[in-house]
Amino acid sequence: MSLEAHELLSRLADTVRSDIAPAVSDEYARTQAFMAAVILQRLAKQARLGAEHGAAEIGDVAALSHELDILFARADATTEVPSEVRGAAVRMRAQASIAAASDVIDALYQWGPEHPEAASALVAIRQMLRRDIDRRMDIAQ
């Protein structure tokens, strides 16, 4: 029987917490062993949720990209969306990465958040970033 990575890490954390750490006589080393168990448990949770969170990130970027396409099409009716903004959005979509949204944010602020479409795009990005933070906090708890 082969264990998945998250199961192995979780079992290792349980062993360190229940068997190894209590058997250590030195207080400092015992504390370090308990902290190692906490770290192993967090790694187990990250391994368990990694694929799910990765898929959610890809979905968030795709949804944001679609929303930006709509906003930019609406903006083009009144004013042209700068090429820097469009380029940053295209790169974010290609990378399928929330981290790439930082370039979009920079470009939107250079364009000017007073533009209604830029302001709406920034709101949409903030919502995506909030979901990303929530996923990260899920692992941290």
Q: What is the pLDDT of residue 103?
A: 96
Nearest to residue 44, comparing CAs of 90, 3, 10, 95? 10
Q: What is the pLDDT of residue 35?
A: 96
Q: What is the pLDDT of residue 88?
A: 96
Q: What is the pLDDT of residue 78?
A: 76
Q: What is the pLDDT of residue 27?
A: 96
Domain residue extents for the chain = 5-140
Given a cut of 70, the residues of the chain with pLDDT beneath it are none
Q: What is the pLDDT of residue 135?
A: 92
Q: What is the pLDDT of residue 74?
A: 86
Q: What is the pLDDT of residue 100?
A: 93
Q: What is the pLDDT of residue 87?
A: 95
Q: What is the DSSP letter of 16?
A: I
How far apart are the C-alpha atoms of 36 and 91, rounded to whole Å?
Answer: 39
